[in-house]
Chain A
Amino acid sequence: MTRLGDLERAVMDVLWDSVPGRSDGVTVREVADALAGRELAYTTVMTVLDRLAGKGMVQREREGRAWRYRAAASREAHIAQLMLDALDLGGSRDAALVRFARSVTGTEAEVLRAALAAEASGGTAGPGALTGRIEAPTSRRADRATSADEAVDG
């Protein structure tokens, strides 16, 4: 990954991890302070935020003489969007991706779309909700293997 891409990711992480109470956004100075370990110039951070705004990843509002930035969508919403693409549910008719197998079920599609809809209406799921859902399939691993074999036998 390029250095710039790396920086964009670091800046987005700051925006996503900023205290929820501060939903009105953070300033360039605050982002630079959060990334103090990287010793970035103020202008560098501003450039990165500008680029991210250009890509539609962050939104900004003017407050006095400074801009306040916040993430346009949560990390979870972006992942849901990528998964919709990955499972060919994104509604695109273009051959943008080549998939291993399409095994998606109606319920999964609904869950993914609901994640995006919830995002659009303002309510964001906490990070805990996501990790909790990831844990689940691991513990069901054994059942799944047997059910797979049954399906082929039958």
Chain B
Amino acid sequence: MAYALHFTLTILACWGTAQVLARSTWPWHSPRVAIVCWQAVGLALGLSAMGLPIALGVSAYDLPPGSGLVALFDDLLHNRLPAGVTVLDLAGVGIGFGIGAVLLTTTVRSTHGALRAQRRHRDLLALVARDDPAVPGALVLDHPSAAAYCLPGVKPRVVVSAGTLSLLDPAELDAVLTHERAHAQERHDLVLLPFTALGRALPWLRWVRQAHERVALLVEMRADDKARELHAEAPLAGALRRFATAGHRITPAGALGLGDRDLDVRVQRLLVADEPRRLIVVTALAVASTLVTLPISLFLS
């Protein structure tokens, strides 16, 4: 029972950490650390969700979950179950593995879907996108709407629309291209993938969706940081503002696009110079590693 309690406490700790992460503003100053924390929360939560029913299932052995599982399988193989193990216990173990299987298959399906969409997108780009001397190394789509994005992969592509070329001045354009290359280099698509997959598996869970939104914003901030390392803050902030207002001319007042609040936050943080606070960063990393270590050590013991 003590082990099941351990897993329960880990789940509660994950929930608490997620609340803190979602509500505080320090992640905006150290997006990379915050991303690691979200990943730790996700991993620990997944492992604990598997671990809790398994720990309950093997509680009859009075062993840690890892050794308990080994003992259970050994007994199952030799067709001798101790009297303490009931059908309910076996169901618990089954549920634990079931949760693991669901998490794994949704991730695989999500990856597969993303790869297929990327291949299709790449094929179409090869036919209709063009090179432009104004944006060396990037592809241009002849369309008046403003869009800039990264098609991730082994051979990543940075794409901007003709609308973006006319919307931004050269310095702003450079900053945006660096931002997109940062996405490609650091494989931010892979950072987002598990959160997208989880959102697909549990679409009714509000906080899963929130976690995905948070991580998506942090990934943008991380890329913003890479862009401001190479260029100044001003062009990047300028580009963000132009994107935020690009729709004004053709939409009735008030009909702003999605993610406007996030754009605002990103601009604000570029304008206010604030050093990451070391104590918070160290604490956050310590909490993250503790969260992950707890369920893993239970499984390995």
What 3 pairs between A and B have smallest CB-CB spacing?
A: A105-B247, A96-B117, A100-B148
A44 to chain B, nearest CB (A): 18
A95 near B189 with CB under 8 A, answer: yes
A83 in complex: contacting residue of B113, B141, B166, B259, CB < 8 Å: B141
Specify which chain A residues have a CB less than 8 angstroms from the CB of B176 in the assembled complex.
100
Specify which chain A residues have a CB less than 8 angstroms from the CB of B219 in the assembled complex.
98
B256 near A85 with CB under 8 A, answer: no
Specify which chain B residues have a CB less than 8 angstroms from the CB of A82 in the assembled complex.
121, 124-125, 128-129, 141, 143, 159
User: What are 18 pairs between A and B in contact, CB < 8 Å?
Assistant: A57-B123, A75-B127, A78-B124, A83-B145, A93-B113, A93-B199, A96-B117, A96-B118, A98-B188, A98-B192, A98-B223, A101-B240, A101-B266, A102-B258, A105-B250, A105-B255, A138-B166, A144-B246
Interface: A80 (CB within 8 A): yes
Specify which chain A residues have a CB less than 8 angstroms from the CB of B8 in the assembled complex.
none
Interface: B60 (CB within 8 A): no
Known contacts A96-B118, A130-B143, A134-B166; 18 additional CB pairs below 8 A are A8-B127, A57-B123, A83-B161, A85-B121, A92-B113, A93-B199, A98-B180, A98-B219, A99-B147, A100-B148, A100-B176, A100-B243, A101-B220, A103-B243, A103-B257, A104-B145, A147-B249, A151-B245
Interface: A26 (CB within 8 A): no
**Contact residues, A63-89 vs B (CB, 8 A):** 75, 78-83, 85-88
Beta-carbon nearest neighbor of B240 in chain A = A101
Specify which chain A residues have a CB less than 8 angstroms from the CB of B214 in the assembled complex.
none
Secondary structure at chain A's binding surface: helix, strand, loop or mixed? Answer: helix
Interface: A62 (CB within 8 A): no
Interface size of A by CB at 8 A reads 54
Interface size of B by CB at 8 A reads 69
Interface: A148 (CB within 8 A): yes
- Given A79-B143, A83-B143, A95-B196, A108:B248 Cβ within 8 A: no
Interface: B82 (CB within 8 A): no
Beta-carbon nearest neighbor of B160 in chain A = A100
Interface: B281 (CB within 8 A): no
A36 to chain B, nearest CB (A): 21
C-alpha gap A82/B163 in the complex (Å): 14
Interface: B183 (CB within 8 A): yes
Interface: A152 (CB within 8 A): yes
C-alpha gap A57/B119 in the complex (Å): 13
C-alpha gap A41/B126 in the complex (Å): 22
Beta-carbon nearest neighbor of A140 in chain B = B249
A15 to chain B, nearest CB (A): 10
A4 to chain B, nearest CB (A): 10
Interface: B301 (CB within 8 A): no
Beta-carbon nearest neighbor of A96 in chain B = B117
**Contact residues, B131-147 vs A (CB, 8 A):** 141-147
A144 near B243 with CB under 8 A, answer: no
Interface: A141 (CB within 8 A): yes
* Proximity bits, A110-136, B CB within 8 Å = 1, else 0: 001000000000000000001101101
